[in-house]
């Protein structure tokens, strides 16, 4: 599959994809309504669909073929992904309505009328916005647990999609060959608005072992307040050009430019995030938004990396998969998390990232059509 899905999904911030299946071809829609973003996953059956005007793939094909009875399992055809800001839920509803994604097409003529008006939904918004979906689209949300969805989403990706997981070391993405016989246990760290850490022992076998409220929402919320930037992408973009050393207090700042070798800290290690702002007689406006964004991104990525490692250590886990839209395939974020995991584990644990990072929950909800057998099979 060409490029990272992250890049494809960025093109879809407006919710507009290059090609759309017709309503007749849409088979299933699932939504994950989080604290910051709504994620949609829907499938279409037409094999020609999903190609943009340049003939490139704009969505992902999952090649489950009809079974012996000539039935199509839910997860067949082409999957489409879209996302919206949760604060713009009306745009999302408009998108679903204009594409008739909630009206399953000709493949579902045999599904009962009641089943047709139900869509699988996960995330807190499945509760918060249930009435709105009913009012605006006339559909009921069949709620699926968020943690269940994250785990089934990631297990599906790790087992069925290659390449999916990759490491990010010294500025290089390297895809990881997953050994299906040696996948479990692992730690899944989902960095959404907040952060959940889940020890996964198998299909449907997991425990949420920890979490932190210092996550993607913190980066975006604090960043917006401190830099006055207008979008998450702008904030992330600014971090590219920033220098965290302007604001962060380094070990060298405290130790007169020296390393603190005895406890393994180099002079360039951050001793205190944002710590320099205390000792300098400067106001917020004296710092560049780029430097602020860089320090903030580094602080949060480092913190998540460190807590993740500590939880991996707690349970003797060597592999940590990071998901959630905070990552956004962003080089500096992945680098900071990788370095934190490497540093704290002394190279024992490995940070891995996922191409479909932000769609784990939505994919899990999508797959629950199959698991829960809402209408299970589609007769061709
Ligand atoms: N376009 C965007 N708008 C807002 N936040 C974004 C955007 N893209 C990435 N993010 C980041 O992703 C986080 C949300 O990640 P996500 O996995 O969707 O979590 P949630 O389910 O809580 O919405 C935000 O808190 C922010 O850090
Ligand atoms: C409550 C949540 C599961 C909601 O998921 P999200 O919308 O952030 O993806 C998540 O924000 C979280 O795990 N927060 C951390 C709470 C804590 O453990 O302190």
Note the pLDDT tens digit of each residue in 192-205: 999 999 999 999 99
pLDDT for res 378: 25
Q: Answer yes or no: is the C-beta of 193 below 6 A from any ligand 1 atom.
A: yes
pLDDT for res 380: 18
- Class of domain 10-148+360-371 as given by CATH: alpha beta
Ligand 2 pocket test target in 193, 216, 304, 311 with most atoms within 8 Å of CB: 193
Sequence-separated (6 or more) residues with CB below 8 Å from residue 262? none
Residue nearest to atom 13 of ligand 2 (CA): 196
- pLDDT grade for 53, boundaries at 50, 70 and 90: very low
Helix (H, G, I), strand (E, B) or coil at 77: coil
Q: What is the mean pLDDT of residues 57-75?
A: 44
C-alpha 93/C-alpha 313 separation (Å) is 43
- pLDDT grade for 21, boundaries at 50, 70 and 90: low
Give the number of the ligand closest to the Cα of residue 85.
1
pLDDT for res 68: 41
Percent of the chain with pLDDT over 70: 79
For residue 35, give the ligand 2 atom closest to its CA: 7
Sequence-separated (6 or more) residues with CB below 8 Å from residue 150? 188, 190, 196, 198, 323, 360, 361, 364
Q: Answer yes or no: is the C-beta of 15 below 6 A from any ligand 1 atom.
A: no
pLDDT at 300 over 80: yes
Instruction: Count other Cβ atoms within 10 Å, centred on residue 174.
Output: 12
- pLDDT grade for 158, boundaries at 50, 70 and 90: very high
pLDDT for res 45: 73
C-alpha 82/C-alpha 231 separation (Å) is 18
In the chain, CATH 3.30.420.40 sits at: 10-148+360-371, 216-247+287-354
Q: How far is the CA of 192 from the centre of ligand 2 (A)?
A: 7
Contact 153, 359 (CB under 8 A): yes
Residue nearest to atom 27 of ligand 1 (CA): 216
pLDDT at 255 over 80: yes
Nearest to 360 by CA among 200, 237, 137: 200
Helix (H, G, I), strand (E, B) or coil at 282: coil
Look over the chain and give the mean of its residue pLDDT values, rounded to a whole number: 85
pLDDT at 354 over 80: yes
For residue 217, give the ligand 2 atom closest to its CA: 8
Fold topology of 216-247+287-354 = Nucleotidyltransferase; domain 5 (3.30.420)
Q: What is the mean pLDDT of residues 146-155?
A: 98
Ranking 84-93, 210-219, 301-310, 367-376 by mean pLDDT, the lowest is: 367-376
Give the number of the ligand closest to the Cα of residue 360.
1
Which token pair is 6?
Answer: 């992250």
pLDDT for res 105: 54
Q: DSSP secondary structure string, 31-71?
A: EEE-SSEEEEEEEE--TTTTB-TTS-B-SEE--PPP-TTSE
């Amino acid at each position: 599959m060409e490029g990272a899905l992250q890049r494809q999904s960025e093109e879809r911030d407006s919710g507009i994809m290059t090609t759309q299946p017709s309503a007749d071809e849409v088979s299933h829609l699932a939504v994950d309504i989080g604290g910051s973003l709504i994620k949609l996953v829907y499938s279409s059956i037409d094999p020609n669909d999903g190609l943009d005007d340049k003939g490139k793939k704009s969505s992902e094909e999952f090649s489950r073929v009809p079974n012996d009875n000539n039935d199509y399992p839910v997860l067949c055809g082409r999957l489409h992904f879209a996302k919206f800001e949760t604060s713009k839920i009306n745009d999302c509803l408009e998108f679903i309505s204009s594409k008739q994604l909630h009206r399953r097409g000709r493949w579902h003529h045999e599904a009962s009328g009641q089943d047709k008006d139900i869509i699988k939904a996960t995330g807190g918004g499945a509760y918060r916005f249930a009435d709105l979906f009913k009012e605006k689209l006339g559909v009921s949300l069949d709620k699926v647990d968020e943690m269940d969805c994250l785990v089934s989403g990631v297990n599906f990706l790790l087992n069925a999609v290659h390449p999916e997981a990759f490491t990010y070391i010294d500025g290089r993405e390297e895809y990881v060959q997953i050994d299906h016989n040696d996948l479990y246990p692992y730690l899944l760290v989902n960095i959404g608005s907040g952060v959940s850490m889940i020890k996964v022992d198998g299909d449907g076998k997991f425990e949420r072992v920890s979490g932190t409220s210092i996550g993607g929402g913190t980066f975006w919320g604090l960043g917006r307040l401190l830099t006055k930037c207008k979008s998450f992408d702008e904030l992330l973009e600014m971090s590219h050009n920033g220098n965290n050393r302007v604001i962060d207090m380094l070990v060298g700042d405290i130790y007169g430019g020296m390393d603190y070798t005895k406890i393994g800290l180099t002079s360039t290690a951050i001793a205190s995030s944002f710590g320099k702002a205390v000792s300098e007689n400067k106001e917020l406006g004296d710092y560049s938004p780029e430097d602020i964004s860089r320090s903030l991104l580094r602080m949060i990525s480092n913190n998540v990396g460190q807590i993740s490692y500590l939880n991996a250590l707690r349970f003797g886990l060597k592999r940590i998969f990071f998901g959630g839209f905070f990552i956004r395939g962003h080089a500096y974020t992945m680098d900071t998390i990788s370095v934190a995991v490497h540093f704290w584990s002394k190279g024992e644990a490995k940070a891995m990232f996922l191409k479909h990072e932000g769609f784990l929950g939505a994919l899990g909800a999508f797959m629950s059509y199959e698991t829960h057998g809402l209408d299970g099979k589609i007769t061709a």
